[in-house]
């Protein structure tokens, strides 16, 4: 197999996964762009006509009708809870408990009214609070200026009130604290996290509510009660506890009404409903059906209530409250005013005029928002926006026309029906606009989610099957692997043709997933065809059923133990507790996997010396000597795993957790002595890392040539370390202690990281241009001597080089045949040829390691050291285990090695101070080497991404080492053997030192082995991703979906993308080295 | 002969299981406020001691590995001391492994150590009783086709079940159920105990069912 098909096929598999991820994401994660603009009093939204009619003081866009408002949010107040049906004789625990609402609505029909309050999905509390204050449809990701905190950046009701000098007082759920930092005039927050706790928040509010109301020092009072929601989560709605809770709310409202003044509007709202099990988060009827109750002591409504309570979308609350209180409507609002609240107790005509004016303001504001939104985002369909614009302009035109005929409040009678129809047209415009937004922002697409899931699952299956297929045969798999590549574009083209004929817009995502599905079908079709053919071929021969079956069974059992660990890992994704505790789950599973490996080796008797007759007699066995080596490695691994747990970041779900002290930068340390100590330790560690890498390379003879790359390793590495050390020194120094050097520091903070970036990219470029680290010693001129250090060439040169040369047998033979005429046994000694592939990877990994360490805070370099040590130990363990098990298949990497490699990768995701939640992202990384202003968004995204997925990057690039390491270690084994042997045999030994050149011996198998390794890696990654995706899809109604599962899914899929790309890069690097080795040999032959 | 031996094994194992159950129930009559969850440390001590004593008594009574030679008293003493040292070392080793698996390093040291003692009681002590302080024999027993008698098969099964139980016992710890038994190390020690009891029950049954395939090498 050639090199290109391997890379191409792997890239194709990655693209399949990407298409699946994209399809799922488009159905699950709804995104929206937050606009930074905000409304203000002076905005030209108000028609010029209003300028004549001066607004009362304290009013902005419309005359203020209430000076105060109380907003009571009862979390998860389902409509059924608030509805009162006197006819019911035996109400359920949640029915007929809020009697006060019914009583007010029937005794004062023009003062009070109950509505159905339709929440927009996702019905999670935080998203609902955002919706209730911004008047928009918050999605899971509101792409805004700041990810680091949950604070609402968009214009909102509270910001408008504060901007206009009103006092907002809050009590209750502490989610608001994070959402509206420093917005409240006074606040009483109570912890909301413990769902089992029904009373803390409610009792806390009740303690402060009445005194605050009576004091009068507020303009908007918000009280957010959580008891009902928590009761739902804990017991479900149908429980006596719910009856108690609702009765408590009833009493609260009854006494609150008595405390209200005449100028106060009371709003009682539920942020969402709840399902029969008491949960919420999705978009089912029960979850979105909340209640809204409006009351004031002065008459609000022109007429009595309708028979059936009206349905009001949740976003309508914002413009209504804003205009009633006389403040501008928040910029991004897409709600429609509740017109009946503006009727007041005047006559029908002036009420209609009033309503018309608020509709006009509202429509202008929505129009303005849609205009500016469509400028920054393309997710609203253009033709619908066009349609909306037409609706709006025609309505406005008619409005101006109408107003010219109206004088004051006297309306000619023939205009009255036109007044009504105009209101209808504004209403129509607002509803259409909201529908357009809802369609693109607030709906799951179950079909797309399922499609994405299926695509990912079948890609996993494909990975597994292709890795098996590649093992079974090499010649045919090229056709089987490469045909599907053509199927994909064919499928996409077909879809495109269909679209051309039906004249529909083409969705790029749909096309790509269609192409992915088509090419997968192509693969499976070819595979099935081959399978049938082979079955026909083998059918003629006598079947080896029993032996084959037993062998297959044994193979399955062998697979069972690493796959079992993988199964546990995937299963853990389905529980929010396990996702929260994953930082401890991954190391646990890694330790278990390695221990199981040792246990299995022992159980199979690979660790004991084969029993001689003497041992059989005694019934005892003794260990081989390698076992101690293996046990030491395992112990080292366990220690590394345990130590790495000291670098964990915390999540808010575990309140008793304390974040690791190593996460904070050195600059935050007060104690100078400790700071200096840690600084020196970190620098020493970097120097140690360089020393270790250099001595490893020297040991294998890769540090002798005078190629630019080797020179870079010798001199560039220490230079990089020096730059990093200088940067750390500058960055961690206290700012004011330097005085006049401040400007110099400012420069240095930028220069040093840029120097590191430059040096590292130079190193990587050198690596790409000439990845050979081989030093060839051509001795063909020196007649009659074979230069190998083992023969002890006299002279200090060899000692000086301190290397082990690799003599490549075949090359030697070919040279011999050509040089036979001179009868001299000359040869070429190539130093470091046996580890040329690994050396390139090691150099690349070290450079990447430096870059990533630079992006983290100083003391996390300990974690990176642990990472390198652990990876090294893991490689040795798998080599040792394969050696002990006498694994004949050197070209196939066992599953346990791949799974442990990936477990280590996710372990170090946590051990480099990360967590799959947005507030835990290290945003500082974006400013390493760059000043605070980022003109473009790509660079900071790359820096933060590299910081977040550091361990994914390192382990994915290093993945080919899993294949190469047994070949590299081959030498040390044979060396040990050799020590015992006679010197005469040495020459033969030397000739067997082929190490990685064994891979070159059989290039077909080498390519296949790389392909299989990549496929296995992608399979394990894909299985984890699949578990995350399924968890997010199945548990989309779960309480924790937006807090735990959705961020986890996002991080996992991003991690997948990063890992797979880095895997491709790593494999390509090995291929590049292979190319270079080939050219090197051909040049040598030409010489 | 084989059938009778299996019967003896079953009886001995049932006795051991009964002892474990008794340690959970009986001390409540003597100690005030005793419960497995509430006073977990006490239970750990009681259980370890009782199981250890019973194992030693059973070993002395049943003598599954009668050695033909008669040893001197001094030899017996040195053998006993060696056993004690081995037991203590296995406790330390288990403790270290548990800590490496993620148990707290400094807090709850007593709990972790007693859990290690319990695990040693379920595994190492049996090995010591059956095989003596002979590491090479231990190595043989815990490998494929290494068991040479039904007693050794039973030892294999119970030890593995105990360890497996302790491993599975760690699973509920992160769950947010707020149950008293999720506290370290209660779930693990309970898991180990249940695993041990399951092993005790399974071993005779398994040996009974597989008696055709089990051909022990004669010594
Ligand atoms: Zn809620
Ligand atoms: Zn809730």
Q: What does the pLDDT look like over A842-894, one tens digit per residue? A: 999 999 999 999 999 889 999 999 999 999 999 999 998 888 887 767 788 89
Q: Nearest residue of A to residue B144 by CA position?
A: A603
Residue of B nearest to A643 (CA): B100
B136-188 pLDDT, tens digit per residue, is: 888 888 887 777 788 888 999 999 999 999 999 999 999 888 888 888 889 99
Maximum separation of any 2 CA atoms in chain B, in Å: 58
In Å, how far from its chain's centre is CA A136?
25
Distance between CA atoms of A270 and A78, rounded to whole angstroms?
A: 7
When mean pLDDT is compared across A295-304, A321-330, A801-810, the lowest value belongs to: A801-810
Which residue of chain A has the CA closest to B143? A603
Which is more confident, A193 or A473? A193
Give one DSSP letter per residue of B46-89, joined into a string: HHHHHHHHHHHHHHHHH-TT--SSPPPHHHHHHHHHHHHHHHHH
Chain-centre distance of CA A732, in angstroms?
Answer: 30
Q: For residues A651 and A657, is the Cβ–Cβ distance under 8 A?
A: yes
Taking contacts as CB-CB distances below 8 angstroms, the residues of chain B near A652 are: none
Average pLDDT for A767-789? 61
Name the DSSP class of A189: E
The pLDDT of residue A41: 82
**pLDDT-based confidence at A538, cuts 50/70/90?**
low
| pLDDT band, very low/low/confident/very high, at B38 (cuts 50, 70, 90) | confident
Residue A611: count of CB within 10 angstroms of its CB: 16
Query: Taking CB atoms and an 8 Å limit, are A584 and B102 in contact across chains?
Result: yes
**B91 — pLDDT class (breaks 50, 70, 90):** very high
Given a cut of 90, whether residue B98 has pLDDT beyond it is: yes
For A845, phi and psi rounded to 5 degrees? -65, -40
Q: Is A149 an interface residue toward B (CB < 8 Å)?
A: no
Q: Among A351, A933, A621, which Cα is nearest to B131's?
A: A621
For the cut 90, the answer to whether the pLDDT of residue B48 exceeds it is yes
Query: Buried b / exposed e across A344-372, counting CB within 10 Å, b at 16+?
Result: eeeeebebbbbbbbbbbbbbbbbbbbbee
Residue A614 to residues A611, A618, A619: CA-CA distances in angstroms? 8, 7, 9
Q: Is the pLDDT of residue A648 over 50?
A: yes
What six digits make up the tokens of A159? 């910001």
Distances (CA, A) of B80 to A181, A1017, B50, B67: 70, 52, 19, 16
Q: Domain extents for chain A? A: 63-345, 352-362+381-442, 444-540, 541-609+620-650+663-775+831-977+993-1086
A587 touches chain B (CB under 8 A): yes
Chain B nearest-CA distance from A621, in A, is: 5
Whether A642 shows a pLDDT value over 60: the answer reads yes
Instruction: Tell me if B68 is assigned to some domain.
Output: no
Interval between CA A124 and ligand 1 midpoint (Å): 6
Which residue's structure tokens are 């090229």?
A: A478
Split at pLDDT 50, 70, 90, the class of A949 is very high
> How many structural domains comprise chain B?
1
Cβ neighbours of B107 in A, within 8 Å: none
Structure tokens belonging to residue A114? 């109950």
Q: How many angstroms separate the CA atoms of A528 and B50, rounded?
A: 62
A810-835 pLDDT, tens per residue? Answer: 455 545 554 444 444 445 667 777 78
> Which of the four pLDDT bands, split at 50, 70 and 90, describes residue A667?
confident
pLDDT, tens digit, for every residue of A927-945?
888 775 555 667 888 898 9
- ∠A820-A825-A828 over CA atoms, to 5°? 105
> Residue A156: which region, alpha, beta or left (left: phi > 0; alpha: psi -120 to 50)?
beta
A85-89, A743-747, B90-94, B121-125: which has the minimum mean pLDDT? A743-747
Which range is least confidently modeled, A43-52, A296-305, A801-810, B60-69? A801-810
Q: Which helix (H) or strand (E) holds A777?
A: strand A775-778
Determine, yes or no, domain membership for B22. Answer: yes
**Dihedral angle sign, alpha carbons of residues A610, A614, A619, A625:** negative
Q: Which of A12, A792, A621 is nearest to B138 (CA)?
A: A621
What residues have a C-beta under 5 A from ligand 2, the ion? A 229
As assigned by CATH, the class of the A63-345 domain is alpha beta
Which chain A residue shows the shortest CA-CA distance from B177? A577
Q: How far apart are CA A982 and CA A431, in angstroms?
A: 93
Distance A224 CA to ligand 2 centre (A): 12
Q: Where are the beta strands (DSSP E) in A166-288?
A: 168-173, 186-190, 220-225, 264-269
Task: Assess contact for A57 and A208: CB atoms under 8 A.
Answer: no
Supply the DSSP string of A811-877, one letter for each residue. Answer: HHHHHHHHTGGGT----EEEETGGGHHHHHHHHHHHHHHHHHHHHS-GGGHHHHHHHHHHHHHHHHH
Are A355 and A348 in contact, with CB atoms under 8 Å apart?
no
pLDDT at B27: 87
Query: For residue A387, how many other CB atoms are within 10 A of its CB?
Result: 13
Q: How far is the CA of A27 from the centre of ligand 1 (A)?
A: 23
Q: Give the mean model confidence (pLDDT) for residues A1056-1081.
A: 92
Q: Could you give the angle at which helices A477-502 and A446-472 cross, rounded to 10 degrees? A: 160
- How far is Cα A291 from Cα A267, in angstroms, rounded to an integer? 10
Residue A586: what pLDDT? 94
Q: Between chain A and chain B, how many beta carbons pairs sit less than 8 Å apart?
A: 67
B134 at the A interface (CB within 8 A)?
A: yes
Average pLDDT over every residue of A959-983? 66
| pLDDT at residue B67 tops 80 | no
Q: With contacts defined as CB-CB under 8 Å, which chain A residues touch B140?
A: 608, 619-621
pLDDT score of A609: 66
- For residue A523, how far is the Cα from the chain centroid? 30
Q: Smallest Cβ distance to B100: which of A576, A585, A642?
A: A642
- State the pLDDT at residue A28: 85
- How far away is chain A from the Cα of B174, in angstroms, using its nearest Cα? 6
A364-to-A7, A389, A504 alpha-carbon distances in Å: 55, 11, 31
Query: How many CA atoms does the CB half-sphere of A25 hold within 13 Å?
Result: 19
Of A48-62, A506-520, A794-808, B84-98, give the range with the top mean pLDDT: B84-98
| Residues 6+ away with beta carbon under 8 Å from B213 | none
Axis crossing angle, helix A895-911 with helix A1003-1034, rounded to the nearest 10:
50
**Best mutation site among A196, A569, A575, A577 for testing chain B: the one with the most B CBs within 10 Å?**
A577
Query: Mean pLDDT over residues A390-401, rounded?
Result: 89
**Whole-number mean pLDDT of chain A?**
82
Query: Looking at the predicted structure, is the pLDDT value of residue A228 above 50?
Result: yes
The distance in angstroms from the start CA to the end CA of chain A is 29
- Per-residue model confidence as pLDDT tens digits over A1008-1063: 889 999 999 999 999 999 999 999 998 887 777 878 898 899 999 999 999 999 99
User: Residue A469 pLDDT > 60, yes or no?
Assistant: yes
DSSP-assigned letter for residue A1043: I
Q: In whole angstroms, what separates CA A697 from the centre of its chain?
A: 36
Lowest mean pLDDT among A248-252, A324-328, A466-470, B54-58: A466-470
Sheet of A186-190: strands edge to edge? A186-190, A168-173, A220-225, A68-74, A264-269, A289-296, A112-118, A311-313
Per CB-CB distance under 8 Å, the chain B contacts of A639 are: 100
**Mean pLDDT lowest among A258-267, A505-514, A573-582:** A505-514
Q: Does the pLDDT of residue A45 top 60, yes or no? A: yes
- Distance between CA atoms of residues A603 and A599, nearest Å: 6
A171 in Cβ contact with A209 (< 8 Å): yes
Q: Is the pLDDT of residue A697 over 60?
A: yes
- Residue from the list B140, B148, B217 with its beta carbon closest to the beta carbon of A621: B140
Q: Are the C-beta atoms of residues A211 and A256 closer than 8 Å to each other?
A: no
Give the tens place of pLDDT for each residue, A732-760. 876 656 566 777 888 888 899 999 999 99
Is B112 domain-assigned?
yes
Q: Which residue of A has its CA nearest to B149?
A: A619
Residue A644 or A304, more confident: A644
Cα distances (Å, whole numbers) of residue A657 to A28, A604, A917? 31, 42, 15
Residue B106 forms contact with A (CB below 8 Å): no
Which residues have CB under 8 Å from A836's CB, separation 6+?
A702, A771, A772, A773, A774, A996, A1073, A1077
CA distance B140 to B134: 10
| Mean pLDDT of all residues in A113-129 | 87
What pLDDT, in 10s, does the model give residues A340-349?
A: 888 766 677 7
| pTM score | 0.81
CB-based contacts of B195, cutoff 8 Å, min separation 6: B161, B162, B163, B164, B165, B166, B168
Nearest-Cα distance to chain B for A578, in Å, is 6
User: Residue A808 has what pLDDT?
Assistant: 53
């Amino acid at each position: 197999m050639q090199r290109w098909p391997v890379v191409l096929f792997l890239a194709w598999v990655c693209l399949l996964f990407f298409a699946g991820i994209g399809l799922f994401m488009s159905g699950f994660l709804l995104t929206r762009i937050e606009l930074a603009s905000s409304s203000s009093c002076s905005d030209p939204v108000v028609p010029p006509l209003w300028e004549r009619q001066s607004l009362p003081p304290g009013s902005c866009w419309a005359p203020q009708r209430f000076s105060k408002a109380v907003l009571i949010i009862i979390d998860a107040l389902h409509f059924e809870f608030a509805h009162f049906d006197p006819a019911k004789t035996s109400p359920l625990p949640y029915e007929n408990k809020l009697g006060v609402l019914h009583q007010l609505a029937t005794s004062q029909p023009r003062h009070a009214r109950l509505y159905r309050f339709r929440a927009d999905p996702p019905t999670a509390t935080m998203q609902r609070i955002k919706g209730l204050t911004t008047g928009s449809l918050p999605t899971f990701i509101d792409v805004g200026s700041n990810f680091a905190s949950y604070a609402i950046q968009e214009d909102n009701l509270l910001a408008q009130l504060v901007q206009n000098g009103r006092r907002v007082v809050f009590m209750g759920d502490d989610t608001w604290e994070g959402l509206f930092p420093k917005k409240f005039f006074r606040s009483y927050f109570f912890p909301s996290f413990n769902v089992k706790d029904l009373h803390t928040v409610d009792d806390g509010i009740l303690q402060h509510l009445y005194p605050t109301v009576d004091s009068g020092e507020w303009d908007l009072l918000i009280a957010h009660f959580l008891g009902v929601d928590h009761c739902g989560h804990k017991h479900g709605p149908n429980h006596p506890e719910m009856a108690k809770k609702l009765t408590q709310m009833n009493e609260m409202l009854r006494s609150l009404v008595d405390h209200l003044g005449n100028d106060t509007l009371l709003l009682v709202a539920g942020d969402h409903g709840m399902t029969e099990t008491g949960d919420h988060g999705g978009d089912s009827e029960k979850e979105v059906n909340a209640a809204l109750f409006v009351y004031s002591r002065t008459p609000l409504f022109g007429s009595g209530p309708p028979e059936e309570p009206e349905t009001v979308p949740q976003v309508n609350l914002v413009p209504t409250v804003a205009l009633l209180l006389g403040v501008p409507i928040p910029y991004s609002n897409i709600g429609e005013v509740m017109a009946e609240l503006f009727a007041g107790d005047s006559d029908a005509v002036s009420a209609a005029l009033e309503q018309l004016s608020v509709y006009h303001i509202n429509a202008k504001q929505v129009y303005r928002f849609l205009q500016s939104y469509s400028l920054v985002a393309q997710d609203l369909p253009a033709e619908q926006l066009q349609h909306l614009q037409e609706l709006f302009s025609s309505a406005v035109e008619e409005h101006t026309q109408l107003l010219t005929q109206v004088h004051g409040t006297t309306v000619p009678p023939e205009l009255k029906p036109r007044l009504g129809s105009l209101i209808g047209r504004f209403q129509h415009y607002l509803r259409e606009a909201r529908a357009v937004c809802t369609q693109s922002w607030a709906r799951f697409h179950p079909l797309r989610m399922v499609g994405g899931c299926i695509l990912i699952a079948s890609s996993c299956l494909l990975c597994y099957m292709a890795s098996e297929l590649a093992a079974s045969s090499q010649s045919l798999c090229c056709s089987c692997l490469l045909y599907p590549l053509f199927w994909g574009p064919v499928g996409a083209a077909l879809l495109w043709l269909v679209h051309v004929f039906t004249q529909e817009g083409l969705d790029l995502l749909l096309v790509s997933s269609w192409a992915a599905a088509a090419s997968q079908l192509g693969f499976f079709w070819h595979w099935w065809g081959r399978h049938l053919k082979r079955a026909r071929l083998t059918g003629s021969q006598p079947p080896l059923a029993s032996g084959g079956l037993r062998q297959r069974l044994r193979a399955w059992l062998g697979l069972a133990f690493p796959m079992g660990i993988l199964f546990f890992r995937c299963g853990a994704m389905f529980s929010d507790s396990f996702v929260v505790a994953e930082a401890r789950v991954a190391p646990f599973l890694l330790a278990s996997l390695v221990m199981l490996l040792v246990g299995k080796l022992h159980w199979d008797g690979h660790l004991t010396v084969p029993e001689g007759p003497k041992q059989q007699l005694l019934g005892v066995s003794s260990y081989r000597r390698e076992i101690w080596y293996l046990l030491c490695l395992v112990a080292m691994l366990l220690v590394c795993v345990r130590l790495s747990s000291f670098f964990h970041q915390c999540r808010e779900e575990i309140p008793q957790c304390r974040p690791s002290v190593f996460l904070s930068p050195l600059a935050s340390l007060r104690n100078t002595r400790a700071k200096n100590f840690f600084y020196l330790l970190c620098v020493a560690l970097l120097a140690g890392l360089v020393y270790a890498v250099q001595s490893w390379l020297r040991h294998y003879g890769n540090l002798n040539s005078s190629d630019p790359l080797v020179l870079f390793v010798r001199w560039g590495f220490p230079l990089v370390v020096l730059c990093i050390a200088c940067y750390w020194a500058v960055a961690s120094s206290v700012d004011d202690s330097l005085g006049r050097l401040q400007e110099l520091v400012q420069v240095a903070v930028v220069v040093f990281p840029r120097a590191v970036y430059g040096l590292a990219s130079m190193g990587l470029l050198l690596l790409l241009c000439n990845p050979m680290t081989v030093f060839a010693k051509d001795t063909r001129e020196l007649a009659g001597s074979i230069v190998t250090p083992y023969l002890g060439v006299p002279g200090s040169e060899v000692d000086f080089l301190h290397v082990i040369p690799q003599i490549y047998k075949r090359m030697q033979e070919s040279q011999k045949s050509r040089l036979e005429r001179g009868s001299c046994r000359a040869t070429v000694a190539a130093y470091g040829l046996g580890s040329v592939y690994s050396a390139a990877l090691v150099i690349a990994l070290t450079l990447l390691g430096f870059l990533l360490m630079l992006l983290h805070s100083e003391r996390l370099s300990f974690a990176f050291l642990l990472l390198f040590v652990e990876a090294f130990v893991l490689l040795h363990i798998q080599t040792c285990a394969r050696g002990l098990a006498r694994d004949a298949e050197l070209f196939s990497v066992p599953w346990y090695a791949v799974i442990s490699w990936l477990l280590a990768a996710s372990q170090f995701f946590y051990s480099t101070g990360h967590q799959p939640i947005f507030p835990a992202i290290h945003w500082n990384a974006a400013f390493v080497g760059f000043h605070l202003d980022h003109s473009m968004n790509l660079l900071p995204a790359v820096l933060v991404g590299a910081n977040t997925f550091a361990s994914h990057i390192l382990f994915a690039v290093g993945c080919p080492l899993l294949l190469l390491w047994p070949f590299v270690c081959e030498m040390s084994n044979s060396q040990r053997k050799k020590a015992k042997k006679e010197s005469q045999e040495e020459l033969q030994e030397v000739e067997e030192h082929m190490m990685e050149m064994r891979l070159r011996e059989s290039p077909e198998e080498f390519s296949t082995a790389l392909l299989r390794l990549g496929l296995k890696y992608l399979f394990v990654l894909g299985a984890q991703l699949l578990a995350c995706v399924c968890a997010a899809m199945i548990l989309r109604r779960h309480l924790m979906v937006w807090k735990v599962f959705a961020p986890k899914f996002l991080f996992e899929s991003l991690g997948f993308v990063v890992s797979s790309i880095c895997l491709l890069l790593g494999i390509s690097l090995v291929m590049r080295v292979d190319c270079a080795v080939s050219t090197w040999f051909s040049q040598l032959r030409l010489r | 002969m084989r059938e009778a031996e299996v019967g003896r094994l079953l009886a001995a194992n049932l006795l051991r299981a009964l002892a474990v159950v008794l340690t959970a129930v009986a001390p409540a009559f003597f100690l005030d406020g005793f419960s497995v969850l509430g006073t977990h440390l006490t239970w750990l001590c009681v259980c370890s001691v009782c199981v250890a004593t019973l194992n030693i008594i059973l070993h002395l009574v049943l003598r599954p590995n009668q050695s033909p030679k008669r040893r001197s008293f001094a030899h017996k003493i040195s053998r006993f001391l060696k056993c004690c040292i081995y037991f203590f070392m296995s406790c330390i080793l288990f403790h270290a492994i548990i800590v490496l698996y993620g148990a707290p390093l400094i807090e709850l040291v007593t709990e972790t150590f007693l859990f290690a003692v319990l695990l040693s009681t379920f595994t190492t002590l049996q090995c010591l009783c059956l095989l003596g302080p002979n590491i090479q024999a231990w190595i043989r027993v815990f490998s494929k086709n290494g068991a040479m008698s039904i007693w050794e098969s039973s030892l294999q099964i119970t030890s593995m079940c105990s360890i497996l139980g302790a491993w599975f016992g760690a699973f509920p710890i992160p769950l947010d159920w707020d149950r008293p038994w999720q506290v370290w190390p209660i779930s693990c020690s309970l898991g180990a105990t249940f695993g041990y009891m399951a092993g005790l029950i399974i071993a005779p049954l398994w040996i009974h069912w597989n008696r055709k395939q089990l051909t022990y090498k004669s010594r």
